[in-house]
Amino acid sequence: MAARFLPSVLAAVAGGGILWLATDGARAFTSEAARRLDVLQSPRKVPEVLLEDMASRQVPLLPQAGEVVLVEFIYTVCGDICQTAAADFAGIRDHLQAQGVQARLLSVSFDPERDTPEQMSIYGDAHEADGIMWTIARPSQKDLPGLLKLFDVTVIPDEWGGFQHNAAIHVINGDGRFSAVYDTDAVQAVVAYLGEAQP
Amino acid sequence: MKMTVLALLAAAEAIALRQAAEASPIQHVLVQMPLLVLAGVLISWDMRGRRVWAVPLLLTALTAFLFWMLPRSVDWALTPAGETAKYLSLPLLLGVPLRLSWPWLAPVLRGFLKANALSMLGVLGFLYTHAPLRICNSYLVSAQQDLGFAFLQLAVVLACIWAVPVLFGHPRWLPSGSAGCSKCGA
């Protein structure tokens, strides 16, 4: 009797197990959810990379002594979500400044060819990025693919000569590890997270 | 022999759609993936499954089906490892088991599976047309909405096709009736 049902039970258990693993225990059905879960569980080491900011200075991507870095990937002529995302990024900057949290905000262009320092400062001025606590910067063409891969950012060209990308706020903690991802409008969550990490 | 050639043709066509699959989720999910399943069905067309294996094989096919329905699997299928997994698992773990188990399934179970496929297509269609964010990182929002509408259209077409035998009886010119296993030695 048991032998009759055994293959079916085994197939059901194996199937359920595979689907359980494939969704990280029914927690991540999309690749975006999967990357967020993965960096929380195993933060990723960020390499030492220099970016060129809107004043043509070289700025480090990695946090300097005692600070935390928030990274948003953008391209400066982005029409819709990047504009509201930039407004929210400015909101985060204001909150962190008010609380005295040591943090640096970077809007990193994934279109370094078109986003020259002049172009980046137009974007920076429009959103009141001061160039110190929050600056706009571009990686070298050589570093770009590695950064997109590390942060799991997928950029695809859209129908109007722009791009679509999984926009988010990426946290690089004091140890130089990419350790969390937040929605671009999750201002309160980011502020709370950094407030805890840095009392 | 004829079926083997057709199976190889379906697989070749699916692989020829590599570029198209990257550009459009409809080509990927509703053309390339079904072609791979079809290749598996055709390659095993003349094989006979044993009755005791019908349920385990059906469960295998359902697992493969559910796995490839996950949005993150669709994204993964565009990476080299995922692409290989797709080419192997859709024919061998979905097409073949489905073909081997289907003749043994009772009409009620077949109807249940079909009804579930329709409602699932409807839910997916609604989800993909209304989601406020991108479900697959590899595709544009507009393409995602197109895919949603394609799911709904497919649901309507399948509902019509499946309703005909239910409402008007099985047409004589169609082989292998849905009424049982007369052809496969039940």
Written as one string, the DSSP assignment of A7-50 is: HHHHHHHHHHHHHHHHTTTTT--SHHHHHHHHHHHSPEEPP--E
CB of B136 within 8 Å of a chain A CB? The answer is yes
In whole angstroms, what is the distance from residue A171 CA to residue B86 CA?
Answer: 33
pLDDT of residue B1: 80
* Mutation site, A13, A21, A32, A158, interface B, largest B CB count within 10 A: A32
pLDDT of residue B132: 85
Q: Count CA within 13 A, CB hemisphere, residue B142.
A: 8
CB contact under 8 A, B66 and A158: no
Once rounded to an integer, what is the mean pLDDT over residues A71-81? 87
Q: How many domains in chain B?
A: 1
What interface predicted TM-score (ipTM) does this complex get?
A: 0.88
Q: In degrees, to the nearest 5, what angle opens at C-alpha A87 toward C-alphas A181 and A171?
A: 20
CB contact under 8 A, A22 and B140: no
pLDDT value at A4 more than 90: no
pLDDT value at B184 more than 70: no
* Least confident window among A52-56, B1-5, B75-79: B1-5
Phi, psi of A171 (to 5 degrees): -100, 125
pLDDT of residue B175: 63
DSSP B20-41: HHHH-HIIIIIIIHHHHHHHHH
Domain containing residue B60:
2-184
Q: How far is CA A144 from the centre of its chain?
A: 14
pLDDT of residue A84: 86
- Facing A23 at nearest CB: one of B52, B70, B140: B70
Chain B residue with Cα closest to A35: B72
With bands split at pLDDT 50, 70 and 90, how would you rate the model's confidence at B176? Answer: low
CATH architecture of A43-197: 3-Layer(aba) Sandwich (3.40)
pLDDT of residue A118: 95
In whole angstroms, what is the distance from residue A68 CA to residue B144 CA?
Answer: 36
In whole angstroms, what is the distance from residue B65 CA to residue B63 CA?
Answer: 5
Q: List, for residues B120-173, the tens digit of each pLDDT value.
A: 999 999 999 999 888 999 999 999 999 999 999 999 999 999 998 888 887 777
Residues of A in contact with B71 (CB under 8 A): 29-31
pLDDT of residue A160: 84
pLDDT of residue A197: 67
In whole angstroms, what is the distance from residue A117 CA to residue A126 CA?
Answer: 14
Sequence ranges of the domains in chain A: 2-27, 43-197
pLDDT of residue A11: 96
Strand partners, A60: A50
Burial of A4 (0-12, 13-18, 19+ CB in 10 A): exposed
How many Cβ atoms from other residues are within 10 Å of residue B11's Cβ?
Answer: 21
With bands split at pLDDT 50, 70 and 90, how would you rate the model's confidence at A66? Answer: confident
Q: List, for residues B71-84, the tens digit of each pLDDT value.
A: 999 999 999 999 99
CA distances from B3 to B40, B61, B86 (A): 10, 20, 21
Cβ within 8 Å of A, B 40-69: 52-53, 55-57, 59-60, 62-63, 66-67
Residues 6+ away with beta carbon under 8 Å from B132 = none
Q: List, for residues A104-163, the tens digit of each pLDDT value.
A: 999 999 999 999 999 999 999 999 999 999 999 999 999 999 999 999 999 999 888 889
Long-range CB contacts (within 8 A, 24+) of B142-148: B142/A159, B143/B24, B143/B25, B143/B26, B144/B25, B146/B24, B146/B25, B146/B26, B147/B25, B147/B26, B147/B29, B147/B30, B148/B124
Q: In what order do the strands lie in the sheet with A134-138?
A: A44-45, A177-182, A169-172, A68-74, A103-109, A134-138, A50-53, A58-60
- Facing A30 at nearest CB: one of B53, B63, B72: B72
Q: List, for residues B7-29, the tens digit of each pLDDT value.
A: 999 999 999 999 999 999 999 99
With bands split at pLDDT 50, 70 and 90, how would you rate the model's confidence at B179? Answer: very low
pLDDT of residue A95: 93
Name the range with the highest mean pLDDT among A78-82, A163-167, A191-195: A163-167
pLDDT value at B186 more than 60: no
pLDDT value at B65 more than 90: yes
With bands split at pLDDT 50, 70 and 90, how would you rate the model's confidence at B178? Answer: very low
In whole angstroms, what is the distance from residue B77 CA to residue B86 CA?
Answer: 6
Once rounded to an integer, what is the mean pLDDT over residues A47-62? 96
In whole angstroms, what is the distance from residue B137 CA to residue A153 CA?
Answer: 8
What is chain B's mean pLDDT, rounded?
Answer: 91
Name the token pair of B66: 């559910």
